[in-house]
Every structure is written in structure tokens, then in C-alpha cells.
Structure 1
Amino acid sequence: MFNKTIQMFIFDGNPNGRIMCELSNWNGRVYKIARNELNLFSDRCDANNTGIYFLFGKNELNKDSIYIGEAEKVSDRLKQHLNDHVYWNECVAVISKDNLLNKAHVKFLEHKFYKLAIDAGRFDIVNSTVPTLSSVSEYDEAMLDEFISNAKLLVNTLGYKAFESISLNSNVKNAAELYHIKATRGADAIGYTVSDGFVVKKDSIVASTITPSMSENLKRWRENLFSDGTINSKNAFTKDYIFSSPSLAASIVMGRNANGRTEWKNDHGATIKQIEETQNV
């Protein structure tokens, strides 16, 4: 791994509007664009280069969502998405500055980024079908793999972790950094904190039933994890799964409203709250 130099240009001094990012010695360029500023983006000379794009929003459970697409003219395609139902409010477009990407290239990229998002499991993916993987030459595939690596880095830098593997984000070095919940109705789970939330490990068991007082939003979230196969019929997680907070993780595991900072405990019985307070003394 090498150190990287990132150049970032914030248009109009507004970090919530449009941002342009580049890496040294890379011909790619990444734009972050607020939905209501697409018209300003379209005025740029490279706005209609061939590229890929990601639409970011929230689903009905307030979980992060993403749509992954490609276009021969990115700006024109993004404007078409203004007619979509309001499932997104920001987009990220990735192009090459010299406009050397062709249709086969961006179809390849679209498929690869879709698979990365599936494997990461962080975002609800809005695409209704799996993008087709185009055939490219061995030379082009090597070039596109490097393009993906650089684009992932910049997208992550902009705050979108849709393509970042949970395992790569783990700061767990030994069993002492793991937290446990063993509670009523069969709940028996292990997890660990990460920079952007809390990961519940594969094979952790959730409570077999929920309490009547559990919030409707948490009930729907839990039901969704069963319906999409994240939790199986034996009440076990089928993969490592990242939640936005320890409390959300604890609530799903315990089948009730819960404060994760006091429910998750390490092997010595210390809670997340106690450990954080000790570290910050």
C-alpha cells in the first residue's frame, strides 16, 4: 500500500453541493452532486463523458440505499433519474478526464461495483436486476481493476462506504475486543465495534420472539433481515452484518428496544459505555 494524494475542489464553498475529487497520477475524476444541483453539474464540459454513477438515499427503514448505473452521457442519464420516486438525494459520478471509457468499459464497471456492494452488504441496493458483465480484453481488465480501486478510495473518502468490506474495516485484533449478548428467548450474539457502527458476527443467534413494546421501525427492520436471508429460520445470522450503532444491533438481537452501549459486554463484563469512558479519561 502506498500513500495517496487526493485533490478536492468544493464548488461555491458548499460541501453539501458539488465536490470534485482526483488522485495524483490517475486519469479518473469523481464528482459528488446534490440532487438539486444537477443542472449546475451539467454545465461542465466533462459532465456528459462516459462513466458510472451511484445514487444514494434511504429506504423505508431509513437504511442507506444505493442505485448503481452506467451511461455514455452521464449528465443526461442523471437528469432522467429526476423522474424517479424520491429514493435518492445525492449522487456520485465517476468518469475519465480524457473520456477514454467506452460502453463495454462502463458495463464492466457497473457489474463489478454492483458485486462489491452486494459483498459489502452495507447498503440496500435499489437495482432490480444484476448488471450484465461485458467482455473486455485482458489489457482493459487490468486497467479497469485499477480504476475500480481508485474510484472506491475516493467514494469512501466522500463518506460513502457502500463498497468497503466489513472485514477490511474491522479493528478487532483479539477476543478481548469482542462483545457479547446472552439474554432471554435464546439471544446469543457476538460482535465488535467499527468506525461507522457495530458488526454482529455470523452465526450469532437472535431472540426467537419480540416484545410487544418493540418499536414498529425496529420490528420492520428485523422482519426485513429475515426476509432477505441475513437471519435464517434458525434465528442465526448467515453473515457478518454491520449496523449503524450498537443499540440497533442489540435491539435486533434481543427483540426489544435496547441501549447497546450498556447491553453489549466483553469477557470481563465491561460494557461499551464503560470502556469508552475509561479510554477517554
Structure 2
Amino acid sequence: MTEGSRGQTLELYFVGGKPDGMLTAEVFNWTGHLLVTPRTQITEAMRRREAQYTGVYLLFGEQDGADLAYIGEGEDMSDRIKSHEAKKDWWTKVILVTSQANTLNKAHIKYLESRLVEEAKSIGRIALENGNTPARPSLKEAERSNMEGFLDYLLMVLPAIGVDAFKQNKRPKLTREDMREAPSPVFELITRRHGLHAHAIIEDGEFVVMEGSTARDNWSGRGTEHTSYAKLHKDMMDNGVLVREGHFCRFTQNFAFASPSAAGAVVNGRPTNGTIEWKVEGSGKTYKDWEAERLAHADGGHV
């Protein structure tokens, strides 16, 4: 956790008592409200009061085997969703984003729609059915600030409910001196057979592989071509995070992974036990051994 950050409380309510069904999401001290529903429950969802509120909505699904999304807005979102239900076959889930007291106006939601499209396109995790990015409406300075604050909370909540389309994995460029001063040691993964050498640190609980690290230029794990790590490797190449250079790829930016194994799999182009293959730079100490030492020295104090 970075200095100055603080914990937040996310409240999820499973409307029908099932985690894969309709749910609502709210954060303490935030005015926003999310209604998430699978398409199979769209009739029940449209009967809810918040479905008639002013807000933005996000459709998710897939087309031709690729993930697809659409971002829109409406003063009565149920009307828009009913139209999409009749005209769009590909989506399987919708998220309605409103304020708890229905205080968003047309300019607010047009601003949020534009910013969400901008964010999704800049991150490039998912294809958008939206054509051009909508123009931002003219808002007073205070209103823009309020909407950016609203957006900050929304972008925090979406990954927590399983929506990664707006999750930014890119991290600021770090110098070697920055890496030395980081609380985490520098880890390295060397695969001599393929001439690979990658460096990483732990930052804010994520395993960040450094710009300039090298990786395989193809996924070689037989029988694992359809796993999440194989898809991640492909997405990173498609999005320019990994760029071919000779017989391998190079990281064009610092990139955060959820675990050492995810990072190791992308570097090696195959399933990898990252806790063993990543080692503290300049030593034979594995990530697993380093982690065990830290746990052994933990004093058991309460947070």
C-alpha cells in the first residue's frame, strides 16, 4: 500500500443469493451505485428502480471468439438496454452505473461515457464496439473534478467485481537507482536456452516486470494454448507491451502481474512456477525462499 492510501469498504449484495447472478455494488462514502446482471436476468433487472435512473452502462460479451464491450449512457437506462437487447446478440452481461439518489444529469453521464471510452481504448485490454470516442461535454471546473472523483471510485470497483477492461498494468518507468531503493529486492529470471533475462520488483502488492526485460516471442506450452496465461501473452503482444526483437520479445514498459507465476509464464511462453524460477538478483535464492524468510521473521503483530 502506498503512502497516503487508505482502505475502502466495498459492499456487494447478491440479489438472488447467488454470486453468478444479479448483484449491486456500493462503496462507503461514495455516491455511486452499480447494478450488475447477466443477460439471462435482464427482465428482472429492468424492473428495478435504478434501471430507470440516469447513468452510464457497460455491455460485455464476445464476438468471433474475442472479448467485446460497449459503453453507453441514458437518462432512462432501461430504454437503452431494451433497445440493445433487441439489436445486439453478442453481449451476456451489463453493468448499470448510477448515483444512489439519481443525482447525475445528462452532462455528467456524457462526461463519464467519454472518459470510460478513453480509458478502455488507452489500456487496450478489450475491443470496443463503440466507434469514435464521444466528445467530452463542457462542465464547470468543480463538476469536472467531481466527475473525475466519481470515476476514480468506479475504476477501483470494476476490477473488484471481475471487470479488468479498465485495469491499468502499465507502471511508471523506474531507474536502476529507484529499484535499489524499493522495499522489495530485485528479482531476475534467466532462461539461458532461449537467451531470456527479465527483472522484476514487488510494488503495491503486484509483481512488476521491468521495461527492457526479454520474453519468448510465442507461446510454447503444449496443451495450454487456451489458458489465461496464454491469452495474456497474446494480448501483451497485440497491445505492444511485448515487441519482437530478433528471436525474442522485449518489454516496452513496466508491467504489473498478479503473481510471480503469471509473470514467469509470459516471460517463458509456457506455464511456469514463478516462486522457484524467479530469484533474488545475484544470488541463488528463489522467490519462495525469500518469502519464507520474510514470514519466519514476521513478528505476528496486528495491523
- TM-score, scaled relative to structure 1: 0.76
Does residue 54 in structure 1 map to residue 58 in structure 2? yes
Q: How does 1:11-160 map to 2 (within 5 A)?
A: 11-24=15-28, 26-56=30-60, 66-82=69-85, 84-86=88-90, 89-119=92-122, 123-138=125-140, 139-160=142-163
Unaligned runs of at least 5 residues, structure 2: 173-178, 297-303
1:192–1:53 distance in 2 versus 1, CA, 3 Å: farther
C-alpha distance 227-146 of structure 1, shift in aligned 2 (>3 A): closer
Please list every run of at least 4 consecutive aligned residues from structure 1 whose deviation after the TM superposition is greater than 6 angstroms: 58-62, 194-197
Instruction: Using the TM superposition, give the Cα deviation of residue 163 of structure 1 relative to its aligned residue in structure 2, in angstroms.
Output: 3.4
The residue aligned with 1:231 is 242
Give distance in 1, aligned partners of 2:7 and 2:266. Answer: 39
Q: How far apart, CA to CA, are the structure 2 residues paired with 1:126 and 1:90?
A: 15
Q: What is aligned with 1:181?
A: 189
| In structure 2, C-alpha distance between the alignment counterparts of 1:224 and 1:8, rounded to whole Å | 30
Q: Is the 8 A contact 1:185 1:208 kept in 2?
A: no
Q: Cα RMSD over matched residues?
A: 3.7
Give runs of aligned pairs for residues 193-232 of structure 1, distance below 5 A. Answer: 198-207=207-216, 213=222, 215-217=224-226, 222-232=233-243
Residues 1:249 and 2:279 aligned together: no
* Mapped contact 1:19–1:31 kept (Cα < 8 A): yes
Per-residue deviation, 1:149: 2.4
TM superposition shift of 1:112:
1.3
- CA distance, structure 2, for counterparts of residue 175 and residue 187 of structure 1: 25
The AA in structure 2 aligned to 1:46 is E
Q: 1:272 aligns with which of 287, 293, 297?
A: 287
Paired letter, 2:287: I
Distance 1:220 1:34, change over 3 A: closer
Specify the SS of the correspondent of 2:251: coil
Per the alignment, in what secondary structure is the counterpart of residue 244 of structure 2? coil
Alignment identity in percent? 27
Within 1, Cα distance between the matches of 2:230 and 2:285? 28
The Cα of 1:245 is off from its aligned counterpart by 4.5
Return the offset for 1:24: 4.8
User: 204-213 or 129-138: which moved more?
Assistant: 204-213
Distance 2:152 2:103 in 1: 18
- TM-score normalised to structure 2 length: 0.71
Larger strand proportion, structure 1 or 2?
Answer: 2
Equivalent-residue separation in structure 2 for 1:50 and 1:85 (angstroms): 24
Separation in 2, partners of 1:269, 1:109: 49
Deviations 1:19-58 (A, max 9, x none): 2233455443222223322211111122122211233457
Shift of the alpha carbon at 1:263?
1.6
Equivalences, count: 275
